[in-house]
Structure 1
Amino acid sequence: MSSQAPKTPSPQDPRFAIIVAGGSGTRMGADRPKQFLKLRGEPVLVHTLRRFAAPELHVQRLVLVLPADQLAVWQELHQRYAPELAHEVVSGGATRWASVRQGLARLKEYSAGVVAVHDGVRPLTPLSVIESTYAAARQHGAAVAAVAPKDSVRGLSATGSYALDRSRLRLVQTPQCFELELLRRAYQLPELPTFTDDASVVEDLQHPIHLVPGDYRNLKITTPEDLLLAEALLG
């Protein structure tokens, strides 16, 4: 249980987004980081940023976190493909946790609002999912997009495996949205090996995580097959 009751900020509370893109092309077998691969003629990252820059979402600050050695490449791609996309760029840290913390630091002048953290290689997130996750975070403090697994799921044991009840499981996606001060407090704690995403960082404060229906099209581009599927969905 949370030590504080969920609050409902006013509709005027600002919205922010931190897009984290620290991947490489290793699993893609590519010659460049996966966020820079072409998707329908434009870098994956351009598609992702355009989602959060949509006027109907009313995102006030859009912060992109990239590894330091990718900043110059992105500057060139940004100018070539989407110079109209207004955003700020921050150098990331050694881990995803450190990168999100760097992105949060860019919002230090704000004391209230809702912030979304999103994977840079999730370019197909429906605007309805982003909107509903922001709205749920305003009400509950912490909200995460997630979908039910389609396949049967088994756990591993020392002697083999065992069936799990998939109706009680969810596959976590992004965006993950939080009341700004809540996420800020969570990221003041030391990094732990159990932190697999931002929800797990906030959960360390004993704050409940509200789940929002995600979308199966909201895929994370990790392998060549993912890129092919994204091409088909956009087509």
Structure 2
Amino acid sequence: MSSAVVIPAAGLGLRLGGETPKAFREVGGDSLLVHAVRGLKAATAADLVCFVVAVPPGSEETVGKELTPYVGDAQLIVVAGGAERPASVRAALDVVPVDGIDCILVHDAARAFVPADAIERVVAAVRAGAEAVVPVVPVTDTIKRVGPTGDVVDTPDRSTLVAVQTPQGFAPDVLRRAHAAGADAGVTDDAMMCERIGVTVRTVEGSPDAFKVTRPQDLLLAEALLAERRMA
């Protein structure tokens, strides 16, 4: 069996600043989106045969030409994304092939440097029977819950908390059911949508390298990581 990946890349990334949409900001001469696709392709055990990318409307042809050299013999489909992330994922999900796909990954282009082994762990867990899988890393900061006035309400036990990354993996029918349910108000990822329809979400080990480029200082971290990899 084979896997497909959906990459929502239509967001502006306002916290990152600048006029270029986040997925197309460059690190080391290539866009974050190119780095993300290249990293996914390196996960050979994932058997990725289809990449579906949702981009700002009007940029489909340009992005298709940019990504074609990096997908090898896999199918590349570029679609217009929506105003919000769930809409972009749905637009991409609508064109993912049905036959022969046993795992669909959903991956943030902003997590452009995920190691191959982290990707492969997600796919392996889905193929082992999990309906939804997320890669996670331990939370190292103390987390406080605060009320409307800004006062601390309580402090969760840090040992029970993890930070969730991407790519997240799903049994195809489960992901389609979650999106068909339309319960996306307030959701922050596709795993949360699956939780809302009663699906158990399994965790696997993530990677510190799978950080999300969100703010300008994250670009500096990405440049440093890329330089280190190129020297290795």
Q: Tell me the TM-score normalized by structure 1.
A: 0.86
SS at match of 1:121: coil
Q: Which amino acid aligns with 1:142?
A: A
The question of 1:118 aligning with 2:107 is answered yes
Q: Distance in 2 between matches of 1:131 and 1:42?
A: 24
- Give the CA deviation at 1:16: 0.8
- Give the CA deviation at 1:185: 1.3
Q: Distance in 1 between matches of 2:148 and 2:178?
A: 35
The question of 1:33 aligning with 2:21 is answered yes
Structure 2 residue runs of 5 or longer lacking an equivalent are: 228-232
- Give the CA deviation at 1:171: 0.9
- Give the CA deviation at 1:47: 0.4
SS at match of 1:151: coil
- Give the CA deviation at 1:94: 2.2
Question: Residue 89 of structure 1 aligns with which residue?
Answer: 78
- Give the CA deviation at 1:69: 3.5
Q: Distance in 1 between matches of 2:208 and 2:70?
A: 29
Question: Residue 189 of structure 2 aligns with which residue?
Answer: 197
Question: Residue 5 of structure 1 aligns with which residue?
Answer: none
SS at match of 1:140: coil
Task: Check whether the contact 1:25–1:31 (CA below 8 A) recurs between aligned residues.
Answer: no
- Give the CA deviation at 1:88: 1.4
Q: What pairs with 1:62-211 in structure 2 (closer than 5 Å)?
A: 62-75=51-64, 78=66, 83-86=69-72, 87-110=76-99, 112-138=101-127, 139-157=129-147, 160-161=151-152, 162-211=154-203
Greater share of residues in helix: 2
Task: Check whether the contact 1:124–1:218 (CA below 8 A) recurs between aligned residues.
Answer: yes
Task: Check whether the contact 2:34–2:70 (CA below 8 A) recurs between aligned residues.
Answer: no
RMSD over aligned Cα atoms: 1.9
Q: Identical aligned pairs, as a percentage? A: 35
Task: Check whether the contact 2:43–2:120 (CA below 8 A) recurs between aligned residues.
Answer: no
The question of 1:229 aligning with 2:217 is answered no
Q: Distance in 2 between matches of 1:55 and 1:233?
A: 19
- Give the CA deviation at 1:26: 2.5
Q: Distance in 1 between matches of 2:108 and 2:52?
A: 12
Task: Check whether the contact 2:81–2:87 (CA below 8 A) recurs between aligned residues.
Answer: yes
Task: Check whether the contact 2:183–2:196 (CA below 8 A) recurs between aligned residues.
Answer: no
Rate the CA distance shift 1:147–1:111 in 2: closer, same or farther, 3 A: same
Rate the CA distance shift 1:35–1:59 in 2: closer, same or farther, 3 A: same
Rate the CA distance shift 1:111–1:202 in 2: closer, same or farther, 3 A: farther
Q: Tell me the TM-score normalized by structure 2.
A: 0.87
Q: Which amino acid aligns with 2:141?
A: D
- Give the CA deviation at 1:55: 6.2
- Give the CA deviation at 1:21: 0.9
